[in-house]
Amino acid sequence: MVTATGCSPVFRGFESHPPLFFKMKKMYLIHGWGGSNSSEPWFKWLKQELPKMNIKIDALEMPNTDYPKIEEWVGYLMNTVKEIDEETYFIGHSIGCQAIMRYLEKLPESIKIAGCVFIAGWFDLKEESYENEEDREIAKPWIERPISFEKVRKHTNNFLAIFSKDDPDVPVSGKDIFKEKLGAKIVVKNKEGHFNETKEIQEILEFIK
């Protein structure tokens, strides 16, 4: 530490109040199956609100979105997400939530992040959500391949999972897995469906403040 007597004129005035350097918070947004980085109205809202909180948001465009594969999506995150530390948040929608968890379980244990927000995340789907057998085959690996929740929790214990009672695709009972396996804070909303038409989700901002 430079003392007052040895301080050059450039640094005078900081003897009692040294300059503070803050890392800027960052959030990576991972969209869902068949979506894009601008597909949901609340994506646009989030892109407008986070900079006001001095949080940078990087909304990723996931590959092969109509036919999502675990290896492709996790590989894309491994190759694309370069800046990650204790000020980093991840937010996922639908299958994007699983992509985040499957990505985190592959990271070195020493890497810590600020937290995760999961919107309409799932480990199983309602029968009526399948339009055809192809949908069922696409979903099958995501449903059947286990996730090491213990490894996911090595990186953070700060999780928020949000559901809607009238989601046509995701059984709200899935919230119990998020709570039991990740210790997530659970929010169950009304009349938001699969959050495809939702304009804003204030709980996200409250979570990261």
**In the chain, where the domains are located:** 24-208
Task: Give tens-digit pLDDT for 61-83.
Answer: 999 999 999 999 999 999 999 88
**pLDDT recorded at residue 22:** 58
Does residue 18 register a pLDDT over 70?
no
The helix/strand/coil state of 160 is strand
Could you name the CATH architecture of 24-208? 3-Layer(aba) Sandwich (3.40)
Specify which residues 189 forms β-bridges with: 164
d(CA 158, CA 117): 9
Token representation of residue 125: 């789907």
As a whole number, mean pLDDT of residues 145-161 equals 98
pLDDT at 20 over 90: no
State yes or no: pLDDT of 3 exceeds 70.
no
Q: Which helix (H) or strand (E) holds 25?
A: strand 25-30
Cβ atoms of 130 and 177 closer than 8 Å: no
Question: pLDDT band at residue 12, thresholds of 50, 70 and 90?
Answer: very low
Q: What is the mean pLDDT of residues 187-194?
A: 98
CA 154/CA 116 separation, integer angstroms = 13
Other residues' Cβ atoms within 10 Å of the Cβ of residue 10: 7
pLDDT recorded at residue 91? 98
Q: Give the Å distances, CA to CA, from 188 to 84, 89, 166, 178.
A: 29, 21, 10, 12
- Using CA atoms, how far apart are residues 124 and 48, in angstroms rounded to an integer? 32
Say how many residues make up the chain. 209
pTM, whole model, 2 decimals?
A: 0.88
